[in-house]
Amino acid sequence: MTAIPVEAATAAPELPDDRPWRRALRRLVRRRGAMVGLSIVLFFVLIAIFAPYVAPYSPIATDWGAVRKAPSLAHWLGTDEIGRDVLSRVVFGARASLMAGVVSVLISLSLGVPLGLLSGYVGGFLDGLLMRIVDAMLACPFLILAIALAAFLGPNLTNAMIAIGISAMPAFVRLTRAQTLATKVEDYVEAAKAVGNPHRRIVLRHILPNILAPIMVQATLAIAAAIIAEASLSFLGLGQQPPAPSWGSMLNTAKNFLSQAPWMAWWPGAAIFVVVLSFNLLGDGLRDALDPKHK
């Protein structure tokens, strides 16, 4: 009889790394829509970062000899009412839109997630109070609240991002609270309590990591909504101020020249549509990957 070395007998068989995050990533990669969305988002992020190298002209350089020129070889997407190159403005406009989308959602997350954790974990009077405030914020239609906030804070891109971030925050409070309520009664949280972990550690080490998936999905979809909201505020003149380019403010100008220069409206609108669609595709794919039960 051959003796089997002890190490060989007790060594665990080599299994593929099957942690939940890796499984979710594999499911995400298999979703064609999500991958298309992710590729387009990355494309626009690169365009925004390298805008000075990609754009053929300065986005604010005027050319009175090329006012409202239709798309041509010199100006691929045409020019606007004071001869600025539409392509260059669309390229630089990606910076304002993507930044507004990401920063607004970061504001919402940084306020909404801690409040949701607090509300769900502590419960009682504090939970009731926070939920009534959230109800009150949700009762004010998102864009109307953002318009009012932007109006009172003053019209510029920073204030528009703050306004959008605050207006979108209640959804994150609600979601985080609901997830915390469901997670805090799980056995592993009870066990963490039983061994004497402080509340802070239980919330940050045992609850938060386990509720991140739905928050990530919501954040991705919220970026899409925030980009539309920034474009809407800029369209109304409450976001990015001229002459700095933004897709919304370009559409605001374009509305006065719809019949003479329709290309001024086509491209910035198409850019918003494509980026928002990509974030929605990515968000839907993430949701399906992280929650396979969802239909």
Pick the closer one to another protein by CB: 116 or 206. Answer: 116
Stretch that binds another protein, among 7-15, 20-28, 67-75, 279-287 (CB under 8 A): 279-287
Phi (first) and psi of residue 3, to 5 degrees: -80, 135
Task: Give the per-residue contact string, 208-227, with another protein (x = CB under 8 A; - = no).
Answer: ----------------x---
We find the least distance from the C-beta atom of residue 276 to another protein, in angstroms, to be: 4
Among 56, 154, 198, 209, the residue binding another protein under the rule CB under 8 A is 154
Count of Cβ atoms closer than 10 Å to residue 25 Cβ:
13
Owner of token pair 């959804």: 171
Amino acid (1-letter code) at residue 133? I
Owner of token pair 């474009």: 231
- Should residue 96 be labelled a site residue for another protein when binding is judged by CB under 8 A? no
Contacts of 91 (CB under 8 A, 6+ apart): 47, 48, 51, 54, 55, 59
In angstroms, the CA 285 to CA 287 distance is: 5
Phi (first) and psi of residue 42, to 5 degrees: -65, -40
In angstroms, the CA 77 to CA 264 distance is: 8
Integer-rounded Cα radius of gyration of the chain: 24
| 128-147 binders of another protein (CB under 8 A) | 132-133, 135-145, 147
Among 49, 262, 291, 292, the residue binding another protein under the rule CB under 8 A is 262
Contact in structure between 207 and 232 (CB atoms under 8 Å): no
Stretch that binds another protein, among 19-27, 64-72, 114-122, 268-276 (CB under 8 A): 268-276
Q: What are the residues binding another protein (CB under 8 A)?
A: 132-133, 135-145, 147-154, 224, 228, 231-232, 235-238, 251, 254-255, 258-259, 262, 265, 268-270, 272-273, 276-277, 280-281, 284, 295
